[in-house]
Amino acid sequence: MVGKRRKARTLAFMALYEADVAGHEPGTVLERLLADEPLDEDNASFARDLVAGVQAHRQEIDRLIRRKAPAWPLEQLSPVDRNVLRLAIYEVLFDNRVPVRAAINEAVELAKRFGSDSSPRFVNGVLGSVSLMVTR
């Protein structure tokens, strides 16, 4: 299950990243990615829920990123870091399907795979601060 959930998260991240960088509609991007790398319906639904959830809460998530990483203006963050944080903050604060630590660990793994050498540490630090807001 973890491998398939990780793949679903990765596809959700890729859709959010492309939407952010290229201005494409994230749901359409995700459907294209799912056509290329199919998932079972449960995990495809999970990926769709992640993308839709980030989009629905994006303003609130972005305000939180600005508050928790004030030295790094949101617009100046790398698109990888920005979208890994958006995805993880959505999971931590709004989705509630996985334990907070699991969501943070998955985000750090995405940052390691797609980000710069400093991305995992940065993402972990911001999410550690965000996780203090959660009581579960």
Mean pLDDT over the full length of the chain? 95
Task: Inform me whether the pLDDT recorded for 136 exceeds 60.
Answer: no
For the CA atoms of the chain, what is the radius of gyration?
14
What is the structure's pLDDT at 135? 60
Confidence band (pLDDT; 50, 70, 90) for 133? confident
Q: Return the half-sphere exposure (C-beta side, CA atoms, 13 A cut-off) of residue 55.
A: 20
Separation CA 134–CA 35 (nearest Å): 35
Least confident segment among 24-28, 67-71, 87-91, 122-126: 67-71
What is the structure's pLDDT at 62? 97
Mapped onto helix, strand or coil, the DSSP state of residue 96 is coil
Q: pTM of the entire structure?
A: 0.94
Rounded average pLDDT over 13-35? 97
- Show the tokens assigned to 52: 């839709």
